[in-house]
Amino acid sequence: MIHILDILKKIALFEGLEDSDLAKVAQVTKERFCPKGTILFREGDIGDAFYLIKEGQVEVLKKDGGAEKVVKTISHTDKDNFFGEMSLVGGAPRNATLRTSTDATFLVISKTDFDMMLRLNSFIALRIMTALSSRFRAATPEAAQEVKLGKLVVIFSPKSGAGKSIFAANLASGLAKLAKAKTLLVDLDLQFGDLAFMLGLQPKRTIADLVENPTDKLEVFKEYLVDHKAGFAVLAAPKKPEQSEMINSSHLRAFVELARKHYDYVILDTHSLFQDLTINAMDMADAIYLLMLPTLNHIKSMHQCLKVMENLKYPPDKIKLILNRDGSQHARSREEIEGGMKRKVDFTLKDSWPQIAALIDTQKTVFEQDSSSEYTANMVAIMEKLTGQTFAKEGKKGWLSSLFG
Ligand SMILES: Nc1ncnc2c1ncn2[C@@H]1O[C@H](COP(=O)(O)OP(=O)(O)O)[C@@H](O)[C@H]1O
Ligand SMILES: [Mg+2]
């Protein structure tokens, strides 16, 4: 008898997986018997499962004018006796109809079961994404992008409380106000995200409503956003934590793709887990900002986080390490942290306790008031690197006056 692990090993999608991972994939693989003449799926259907022929034969049909014609048959003994692997990671429509031409048995992995397995095994997601993204990088020539896309910025930290959300909100506000850029801020902290609240916004709709009615039209997409008076838009986290489960990485990929055609910057605030969704976000991103506090537990977690991220083989300058709350009480110094992690910190954000606390109380960003704090200046420096523009001129003509002058 052929072992299921040996079968799965041959599928390119699973090439980065270890045997223990494959065993988990095997657990969500089901055997299904289909009598002769069964239609497995039709051309144009959205792919929702992977099929491998264990026994029997299928016909591949394609539309030709009005009628469907058999273009080939595939039997279990053929080398390529499986189809739809990519539908497991966010499927394009099926490019043909499949019908059994004998009684047949399949090994089937449904996208729903696969997603569930990935949710519980984020490192399998990570390894699949790693293998996939290197394949894509090899396959897509640069010239394939004719439209100029907005920059995707992902904000992540292995620990919560690192200051991601405050940073994300201020970044969006600063890009809108100083760079006059069309900016979208997305709250991907799906269970307890509070960006909208932090910004004093009352969204009528959230990301959960959007994925219930996916759209590829900008005007419709905008109905799910809430506008901030500083000039950026927000896609809010679901109102109830349990709605977080509605949102998967194909939803994310679809709306990010749409948003990047219209916004100069799309900023994704995340929660502190390596998970299918966050990894997909990082993979698509132009820049990843990793935030940490100057404390031992953050240093340790960030060190582990960076090790895992090495496997993703991103270009080195895609990842920026930000040391937040620099100079706070009991903080480790920047030099000590860099020495311990054997990596340079790219940016620091000064600890500005009373100011940041006041901002949260008044639901404002630093760019909405006449603030000349070090935190604001640090934010400006980060934004200058990101945009390639200069905002911080010496003296009165600097970014302060462009805001309030
Ligand atoms: N530079 C800073 N100075 C002072 N307080 C900060 C700073 N950055 C973040 N904080 C505080 O840290 C807390 C956590 O910030 P938040 O953005 O919600 O973290 P995360 O989104 O990473 O969980 C907030 O209450 C905020 O007041
Ligand atoms: Mg947060």
Backbone Cα Rg of the chain: 24
- Do 104 and 57 form a contact (C-beta atoms < 8 A)? yes
Q: CA-CA distance, 187 to 173, in Å (whole number)?
A: 14
According to the model, what pLDDT value does residue 203 have? 96
Which atom in ligand 1 lies closest to the alpha carbon of residue 349?
A: 1
Atom number of ligand 1 nearest to Cα 357: 27
Instruction: Output the CA–CA distances (angstroms, integers) from residue 109 to 80, 202, 338, in the order listed.
Output: 17, 40, 45
- DSSP-derived pairing of the beta strands 183-187 and 265-269: parallel
What pLDDT is recorded for position 79? Answer: 85
Ligand 1: residue of 154, 159, 166 to mutate (most ligand atoms within 8 A of CB) is: 166
The tokens for 177 are 């106000």
Q: Give residue-wise pLDDT tens across range 27-37.
A: 999 999 999 99
Closest CA to 271 of 253, 297, 244, 251: 244
Residue 165 CA, ligand 2 centroid: distance in Å? 4
**Mutation pick for ligand 1 pocket among 159, 198, 326, 356 (CB with most ligand atoms within 8 Å):** 356
pLDDT of residue 166: 95
pLDDT at 29: 94
Q: What is the distance in A from the centroid of ligand 1 to the CA of 8?
A: 44
Under 8 Å CB-to-CB from 101, ≥6 apart: which residues? 36, 57, 58, 59, 73
A 10 A CB-CB count for 270 gives 25
Distance CA(187)–CA(267), nearest Å, equals 9
Question: For the chain, which residues make up each domain, given as ranges?
Answer: 4-134, 148-404
CA distance 251 to 196: 20
End-to-end Cα, the chain, rounded Å: 78
pLDDT of 143 > 80? The answer is: no
Query: Which ligand has the minimum distance to the alpha carbon of residue 298?
Result: 1
In b/e form, how buried is each residue of 342-381, taking b as 16+ CB within 10 angstroms? eeebebbbbbbeebbeebeeeebbbbbeebeeebbbbbbe
CATH 3.40.50.300 fits 148-404, yes or no: yes
Give residue ranges with CB within 6 A of ligand 1.
157, 160-166, 324-325, 349, 351-353, 356-357, 360, 375
| CATH number for the domain running over 4-134 | 2.60.120.10
Picking from 122-126, 157-161, 174-178, which range would have the lowest pLDDT averaged per residue? 122-126
Alpha carbons 263 and 244: distance in angstroms, whole number: 25
Q: What is the DSSP secondary structure assignment for residue 38, as one 8-state letter?
A: -
Partners of residue 34 on adjacent β-strands: 104
Please give the share of the chain, as a percent, with pLDDT higher than 70: 91
**Quick one: pLDDT band at residue 403, thresholds 50, 70, 90?**
low
| Euclidean distance between CA atoms 229 and 38, whole angstroms | 56
Largest CA distance in the chain: 80
Taking the centre of ligand 1 as the mean of its atom positions, its distance from the CA of residue 281, in whole angstroms, is 22
Residue type, 166: I
pLDDT band at residue 232 under the 50/70/90 scheme: very high
- Paired residues of 52 in beta bridges: 82, 107
Q: Which two tokens stand for residue 228?
A: 């901030």
pLDDT digits (tens, 9 = 90+) for 253-307: 999 999 999 999 999 999 998 888 898 899 899 999 999 999 999 999 999 999 8
